[in-house]
């Protein structure tokens, strides 16, 4: 069951989707979206694999969500959970440093509860335009590099979007067999 809190961020995204590129069959290849500035709880982790990093990072953030914060209250789950990843210059190797980010529900945006864990930071991300493409399945080093490559080929002017940082948005449990994900390219200012 999806709660109102879980859909807060999705409604924001869907309300501001202003361009979608479609194939000749009518399938959406990617969307261009505008996100307003927002507060995120973030934790940067460096484990041996991407999968280990996102699991460890998410568990850290779950403790923050589940009362280990200055309000002492359960904040509620929102989706997607984002992971900010970096690649080498050729976009063929992921950095081991991964930032896992949780969107704070609307009622906490003005005054985010502070984390009890000093390794978690509250960041205000600026308004951003992203180019996003959906994909299903596991997220690991191989699938992410492939998704980056596919998305770069689809964009009309990849040089205006592609740099060394990308975002993977996860909408379902990482252990789910048919996980729903997106790859996000940030538009350069």
- Taking the model in full, what pTM does it have? 0.86
CATH of domain 4-186: 3.20.80.10
- Which residues face 141 on adjacent strands? none
Domain boundaries, the chain: 4-186
Tens of pLDDT along the chain (189 residues) come to 344 444 444 444 433 555 666 655 667 789 999 999 999 999 999 999 998 999 999 999 999 999 999 999 999 999 999 999 998 888 888 998 999 999 999 999 999 999 999 999 999 999 999 999 999 998 999 999 999 999 988 887 767 776 779 999 999 887 777 899 999 999 987
| Beta-bridge partner residues of 128 | 35
Whole-Å CA distances, 6 to 48, 75, 84, 106, 158: 30, 11, 20, 10, 32
Q: Which residues of 141-160 are buried (b: 16+ CB within 10 A; e: fewer)?
A: eebbbebbeebbeebeeeee
């Amino acid at each position: 069951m999806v709660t109102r809190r879980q859909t807060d961020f999705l409604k924001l995204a869907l309300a501001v989707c202003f361009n979608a590129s479609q194939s000749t069959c009518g399938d959406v290849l990617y969307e261009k979206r505008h996100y307003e500035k927002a507060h995120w709880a973030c934790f940067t982790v460096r484990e041996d694999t991407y999968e280990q990093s996102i699991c460890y990072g998410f568990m850290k953030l779950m403790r923050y969500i589940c009362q280990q914060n200055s309000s002492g209250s359960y904040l509620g789950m929102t989706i997607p959970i984002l992971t900010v990843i970096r690649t080498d210059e050729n976009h063929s190797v992921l950095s081991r440093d991964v930032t896992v980010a949780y969107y704070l529900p609307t009622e906490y945006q003005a005054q985010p509860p502070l984390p009890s864990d000093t390794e978690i930071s509250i960041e205000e991300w600026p308004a951003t335009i992203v180019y996003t493409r959906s994909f299903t399945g596991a997220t690991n080093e191989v699938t992410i590099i492939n998704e980056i490559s596919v998305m770069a080929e689809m964009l009309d002017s990849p040089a205006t979007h592609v740099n060394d940082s990308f975002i993977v948005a996860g909408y379902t449990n990482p252990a789910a067999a048919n996980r729903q994900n997106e790859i996000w390219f940030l538009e350069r200012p």
